[in-house]
Amino acid sequence: MILEPLTAVDGALPGHLLTEVTALYAANREFFALSGDFPDPDGIRVEQVAKALADELAHPDAEVLLARSEGRLAGVVITLARHPDPADPDPWIGLLIVAEELHRTGVGRELVRLVEDRFRAAGHAAVRLAVLENNPAALRFWTGLGYLVIGHREDRAPHRPCAVLRKPL
């Protein structure tokens, strides 16, 4: 599996990549129903995904990584090298989405390992993430990978209750 950064071409995200990412997002209806990130989790559209990704990429410390296995899109990981809170020294995993047909195959664990390796190689001592309180399956996934709950707070924009997790690298 390889991770490749998503980058704009002439100021826009390539259409074929947006189509792939939209299909991956749409197949993860259950997560997007919990998160509320899209108004209709049964009708996620390319334009909505394009805006969401552009908003992420507008942050100077954000990176959208596309995970490919055997040439096909296996997942998307959004990372943040620095949290906006200056007291927080750790990078963050903002989103991890795996192609639905690859759930429970170890692909998610492999993606996390690759992201952790990238942060470790960049000299980071730990990584953080937030899990929506209404998503116990995600909390089990992350704690099973060694992440520990270090607090609870609302996320920044939609103000949803979250558990904050951290893992030393």
Least confident of 1-15, 16-30, 129-143: 1-15
* In the chain, % of residues over pLDDT 70: 100
Residues written for the chain: 169
Going by their DSSP bridges, the two strands 161-168 and 62-69 should be labelled as: unpaired
Q: Could you give the 3-state DSSP secondary structure of residue 38? A: coil
Q: What is the pLDDT of residues 143-152, one digit of tens each?
A: 999 999 999 9
CATH 3.40.630.30 correct for 2-168: yes
Edge-first strand listing for the sheet containing 72-80:
2-5, 62-69, 72-80, 92-98, 126-132, 161-168, 148-154
State residue 40's pLDDT score. Answer: 94
User: For residues 106 and 154, what is the distance between their CA atoms, to the nearest angstrom?
Assistant: 29
Rounded to two decimals, the pTM is 0.93
